[in-house]
Amino acid sequence: MREVVDGVIEIPIAYVHAYAVVVDDGVVLVDTGLAHAGDASRISGAKLRHRSRFLRVVGAVMPAPEPVPVDETLTADGPISVPGFTAFHTPGHTSGHASFLLDRAGGVLFAGDAVRSGRTGRIRRGPKMITEDREAESASISRLADLTFDAAVFGHGRAISHDAAQRFREFVVQGV
């Protein structure tokens, strides 16, 4: 584990990262219990997710995640029930993918699977084989580049602790 910025802890789990955020009345585990309406029925198990050929092959080795209840369904961008967090609908990886901006330390973007970072901290698109909609992904990355934040954390790839928004803007200029 490592602290990315004050009170934001990166927790590596195999090939993904989870994040714990210390708040006034406890700790928030990011990306659990909050979902956009576009994915809520898949997460809860009410609707099966379309799986690409790649994901069907992976599924033979790795079990599918178990359905879990969704505590809060997001239908629009804006503040969520956890103070200091703002949700942004960022489709691409999935139709209901959401990213979150924490109002702390110059802004911390929780990009999830909207993008990833490489070993040198460069922004990279998600792999084609696990991205539902590449055009939506490009639009979402451009939208994130318009936000104000200093740090960014990802579901995959190394966290960026400083000047993260600038790296997003450079990536967009290079042609998403």
Domain residue ranges of the chain, discontinuous segments joined by +: 2-173
List the beta bridge partners of residue 35: 73
Gap between the Cα atoms of 142 and 47, Å rounded: 30
Give pLDDT, residue 176. 63
The strand pair at 34-36 and 72-74 is best described as: parallel
Maximum Cα interatomic distance, the chain, rounded to a whole number of Å: 44
Does the pTM surpass 0.75? The reply is yes
164-173 and 134-145 are packed helices; what angle lies between their axes, rounded to 10 degrees? 130
What pLDDT is stored for residue 175 in this prediction? Answer: 79
Span 17-23, average pLDDT? 93
CATH 2.40.160.20 correct for 2-173: no
